[in-house]
Amino acid sequence: MNKVNRQIATLLLCVCGVAALAQRNVSEEQLRKLSIAEMAVTALYVDSVDEQKLVEDAIRGMLEKLDPHSTYTTPKETKEMTEPLNGSFEGIGVQFNMVEDTLLVIQTVTNGPSEKIGILAGDRIVSVNDTAIAGVKMSKEEIMRRLRGPKGTVAHLGIVRQGISGVLSFDVVRDKIPVHTIDATYMLRPGIGYVRIGSFGATTYHEFMESIGKLRKQGMRDLVLDLQENGGGYLQAAAELAGEFLESGDLIVYTEGRRVPRHEYTADGSGSFRDGRIVVLVDEYSASAAEIVTGALQDQDRGTVVGRRTFGKGLVQRPIDLPDGSMIRLTIAHYYTPSGRCIQKPYEKGDKKSYALDVMNRLKSGELTSADSVSNRVEQWPDSLKFQTLRQHRTVYGGGGIMPDYFVPLDTTRYTRYHRELAAKSIIIQQNLRYVDNHRNQLKAQYPDFDTFRRDFEVPQTLIDAIFAEGEKQGVKPKDDDERLTTQPQLRLQLKALVARDLWDMNEYFAIINEQNDIVRKALELLTE
């Protein structure tokens, strides 16, 4: 048996197991069929072939005819996909962005290796291990590859710092760098805490408990849990977090599949937030694990859901590690909310294009922007997709995503076409970085704390003009003076939030941007009535 045949055999054994293959009587016949096809191509095809790619293409071909979430990833893709969820990577510990072709340090990771040896926000890293990375048009991915490396190895950095002549040298010993899944934690209003979760990873539960502890010390009684744009992650992390709000024995979610028996996740009753009110914020990009938490709190009548219908991913994938570090994520079950809703939206096997365009189709149909459109949709719902919550017996809906208790339309007028094009070409972010870089010391001196900044800082017109001028250079122009004027209020808000982020962190960014977020404002309205 050659190398590729062994790979195919190993794959089948990994996925199905020896006993399952024997029961299905497919081992000999189907494996031979795959082997003959591979040997024929390798031996007889007119041109040389990459045997490894043949196997990968065969796997992808099998999975593409299944559901939209069964996937294969190469070793490199698997590493990139799992690092954010596993909670850490190994590197030097800086947040950075590229200004033209130079790496600009935005923040150093607290207690990370770069901060410990004196690297500062505003520094420019121009070389790594004596290889220039500035002025050479090196890709961001290649720069990241050079900065990352095994824990304990040394990155010799050349750094240019404003006000200091020459190139400074720093030897940074790489270390484990935490990856946080909670984007922001702060007090929205007296008594009302806010936590925004970006994804559900291995560290989410512990991060959340730290956030709750921090907010309780600041007088939190009620909580706004923001899951907007949260694409999901680990089911276990979602179940643990939901359990913090529920009573002993309360069902959180259950999974069931053709070959997978029903498995229930329930709360153990030791949750730390079983009293105060909760409002969960969702939108059309809230998916998977985010929908587990949302559905559990809605079905158990424990929280109020505000926003727009969620994405509708109710399929459970089992990761199957392959010997070379690649991975298959194979759908093995559906998950169901406590009331019995399967929130997976409809799909046709093999038609990933239509599935990917679902959100765009919702926008075109008016569902994202019109309360009337949502009402009409609900009125047409068949009885089979109507369910009752477990305590108050309110009607909730299955058939694809979690329908919120309070609908908040998407405001498509807030960002003008001109604004979107300026953002798409990175003109806004680049000009903001230049502004903060040139005025960092002045801003820090003038606004020693965030409260002072939030109250007193106003985006200078010179920054707005610089963005418009750069847009003009790159062919991004408003259609008329009205569009230019209409663009400015939201642009000013975005820039103020970005400046706050670069001077402090994401808490401060969301503290500013959320003041104009309609979904957040609706949550505040409900909690302060």
Do 308 and 402 touch, CB atoms closer than 8 A?
Answer: no
Pairwise CA distance, residues 42 & 409, whole Å: 56
Pairwise CA distance, residues 516 & 490, whole Å: 9
State the DSSP code for 394.
-
Strand order, beta sheet including 304-307: 182-189, 192-197, 222-226, 278-282, 304-307, 406-407
Of 419, 423, 502, 417, give the one whose Cα is nearest residue 457.
Answer: 502
Residue holding tokens 């790489």?
174
Find all residues with CB under 8 Å of 443, minimum gap 6, and list them.
Answer: 436, 453, 457, 499, 503
Helix, strand, coil shares, percent, the chain, to 5? 45, 20, 35
Query: Rounded to a whole number, what is the largest CA-CA distance in the chain?
Result: 76
Reported residue count of the chain is 529
Catalytic residue from among 313, 345, 496, 522: 313
User: Annotated catalytic, 313?
Assistant: yes
State in Å, rounded, how far the first CA of the chain is from the last one: 72
Pairwise CA distance, residues 160 & 134, whole Å: 11
Of 148, 109, 106, 146, give the one whose Cα is nearest residue 128.
Answer: 146
User: Annotated catalytic, 299?
Assistant: yes
Catalytic residue from among 67, 226, 283, 299: 299
- The torsion region of residue 163 among left (phi > 0), alpha (psi -120 to 50) and beta comes to left
User: Annotated catalytic, 465?
Assistant: no
Three state DSSP letters for 259-293 = CCCCEEEECCCCCCCCCCCEEEEECCCCCCHHHHH
Of 403, 397, 389, give the one whose Cα is nearest residue 299.
Answer: 389
Return the ∠ at Cα 114 (arms to 111 and 120), rounded to 5°. Answer: 100
Catalytic residue from among 114, 127, 286, 288: 288
Of 397, 228, 195, 377, give the one whose Cα is nearest residue 299.
Answer: 397
Pairwise CA distance, residues 493 & 491, whole Å: 5
Of 296, 208, 215, 221, give the one whose Cα is nearest residue 528.
Answer: 221
396 forms beta bridges with: 387
Residues with a catalytic annotation lie at 288, 299, 313
